[in-house]
Every structure is written in C-alpha cells, then in structure tokens.
A and B are shown apart, each in its own frame.
Chain A
C-alpha cells in the first residue's frame, strides 16, 4: 500500500514528530511504501480562491510551490495520513493551508448523485484518509467529536472518508487495527 504522511506539526520541539516517525516506521515494517512531508519545512502558499486550477491551467495551481509534490503524492496514495496537533480545537493552520490547496484534484463540475453537491474527482478516485492528532491540555471528548466531524465532511466532499481518527498518544497498533478492520 502507498501511504503518504502529511505532518502539520508547527512545533519541532513538542515530541509530536517523534511519535509520528514511529507510525511511519510501523507502516514500513508492515511493508507499506511511505512518503512523508513535513509542512513547516515546505513553502505552501494560501489558496486565494482564483479557480485557476479549474479554468486556466486545469489541475495545476497558479502557485508552483511545494504543494505540487503533495498533490502528486496524494494522487498516487492509497492512504493519506493527515497529522497535526489540535490547536484551539482543530487541526493546525499549517495543515489547513495545505488541505485548502487540495482542490486541483477536483473538477469544477458538480456531482449531485450522492444527494448533495460535491465536485467530480479529476483522477476518478481518492485515497482513503486517516487523521492522527495530539490533544491539547484542555482537549475533551467534545473537541475530538467536533474536529472529527469537520474532517468527515472534508473527506466526503473529496470523494473519500476518514478511516481512522486517532490520538497519537494511543498505541499505534490501534491505528493499524482500525485501518485493517476498515
């Protein structure tokens, strides 16, 4: 299985990266091909909603930055792991900036067959998504549910679904068990 891990942790000293590395190692130990991106080391502009990736250069963003490699990885992946600490109750701005730039993999045209609007998929398929997070000191079950629901909506509109939404502080086997059960 091709796995892409997108690390949206803004703080290199937090211990998050080390836990995420263990997840990557455990994937490799399972025989998966793993590609990792550390967003804070990359240059990714904020999407400005110009729709150039739909109507000017279809499939290609006007910003030719590191997001191109992430889109290439996304298109080739079977599973994309979106990783970020919770900050103010949701995924980091660093990761959000990256997911805002996912729209070149969609077509402008709207599919209504599922009962609500969503965009057709440019590549005809979407990888499965997993979200791994680290809780904040004040994270409670309500926060986890709120964040998970926001991700479920993103996944649904991207033609995918969230196969796993897990804290990185739980044993990693639980991530894989949940994905394997999927």
Chain B
C-alpha cells in the first residue's frame, strides 16, 4: 500500500500538523510492504506535487490545522485543484487529520461532513477523519505532555497499515470531549495567557499595546 500524506499547514514543515503526521507515518511504516511519502504543501513545489498526488497513491492522508474554523486557504486551493479528478477512475482512499488550538471537539466537528462529502464528490472511498484539539504548543511541550498523543498517532498509523481503517476507539479518544468543563476552559484561558501570550508580548516589547485598535474608525471632529 502506497500512502501519500499531505501537510496542509501554512507553517510548513515546522508545524504541529507535520509532527502529528510524522508519528502516524512512523506507525504506518512499521507494517510490511508499505511505502509512504510526506508532502509539505507550503514548501516549493509542494502544491503541484499535492495536486497530482492521486496518481500512484492507494491512500491519501490530508492533514491541516483549523484556520478561521475551516481548512486554510492553501488547502482549499488544493481541494479545488483536485476537482479535475471528479468522474475519473482508480481513485485513492481518503483519510484526513484536522487539528485545532482550542481544545473542544465542537470546533472541528463541522469539517467531518464536509470531508466525507468531498470524498464522495471526488469518487474516493472515505475512511475517516482524525480530529484533535488542544494541539497548539506540542512543538514546545516537554515529552511527558505529548507522549500519549504521539503514541496514539503511531497506533492509528500502524492499525491503518494493517487493516486500512482508522480505529474508532482511538479516533474517539483523540477527538476528546465536544465541550470542556468549566475548570478545563478556565485552565486553557489562564494558562495560555500567563504562560504563552503575556511572555511573548513582553519579549516583543508589545505588552502595553496588546489591546491596540489600529483600524478603529477615526472619530469625526
């Protein structure tokens, strides 16, 4: 089985999406007789490679971060280029990875029917979407915080290599709760402010400007 993974992150090769895909591929590669490649949509030539990737792939895994609550513009461009495959034969199986910074599953949920319908529109067999919230920061988190997530991604990859399906239990575990409890929400809120946003603003000398309104309409005299 020949799998093409596409990293649709506008941040390119150094992105949370790429990290998750690499762990999936590591698990997938453990099964015999499989080959795979990873295309970064953002790198030079990546968009053309991804646009043509149905040729010679048994499976295509398209991964992307949530941008303004859906796929990033560059991923939509790719999907539009895939339109030429409509109606042609011999299509790969499609699977997807959608990750978000916000922890609740409610933010990525609406993508699932879209991706399912997209697969049908292209004439591809849809085999599921990996959803994962709370991903912002995995690039910098210590390994004890990410170990479980990365293990699950490798298990999903290994299982897919063996059975050509994404394990429902693992998908459910990764997607997590549709909504956080009050404590969870407050933790995300305060932790990100204290550990991430405020230090970054201060490092950049921008803390005092953090509430700036540069495009506010001018008051008429």
Contact = CB atoms under 8 A, between A and B. Distances in A.
Contacts of B82: 88
Interface residues of B, number: 55
B180 A123 contact: no
B71 A57 contact: no
Interface string A54-69: 1111111000000010
Given A90-B70, A93-B73, A55 B185 contact: no
A90 B69 contact: no
Contacts of B203: 55
B151 to A, nearest CB: 25
A108 interface: yes
Given A46-B74, A88-B121, A93-B76, A146 B113 contact: yes
Contacts of B67: 47, 49, 96, 100
Contacts of B182: 112
Contacts, number: 172
Contacts of B216: 75, 123
B35 interface: no
B104 A150 contact: no
Contacts of A138: 121
Contacts of B197: 54-55, 108-109
Nearest to B182: A112
B72 A46 contact: yes
Contact of A47 (B72, B113, B179, B185): B72
Interface stretch (B49-57, B89-97, B163-171, B188-196): B188-196
Contacts of B104: 116-117
B68 interface: yes
Nearest to A87: B80
Interface string B99-119: 000111011001101100110
Given A76-B217, A88-B121, A150-B110, A51 B179 contact: no
Contact of B114 (A68, A89, A111): A89
Contacts of A47: 10, 67, 72-73
B9 A59 contact: no
Please indicate which of the listed interface residues B76, B111, B197 has the most CB atoms of chain A within 10 Å of its own CB: B76
B220 interface: no
A47 B12 CA distance: 12
A142 B65 contact: no
A111 to B, nearest CB: 8
A109 B193 contact: yes
B215 A59 contact: yes
A58 B107 contact: no
A7 B103 CA distance: 32
Given A49-B67, A90-B70, A154-B69, A75 B217 contact: yes
28 contacts: A46-B74, A47-B73, A54-B200, A57-B206, A57-B209, A72-B215, A88-B79, A89-B121, A90-B70, A90-B79, A93-B77, A93-B79, A96-B70, A99-B68, A100-B72, A103-B68, A108-B192, A108-B197, A109-B193, A112-B188, A116-B104, A116-B185, A117-B180, A122-B212, A123-B213, A147-B114, A153-B69, A153-B70
Interface of B: 9-11, 15, 65, 67-74, 76-77, 79-80, 82-83, 102-104, 106-107, 110-111, 113-114, 117-118, 121, 179-180, 182, 185-186, 188-189, 192-193, 197, 200-201, 203-204, 206, 209-217
Interface of A: 46-51, 54-60, 68, 71-72, 74-76, 87-94, 96-100, 102-105, 107-112, 115-118, 122-123, 138, 142-143, 146-147, 149-150, 152-154, 157
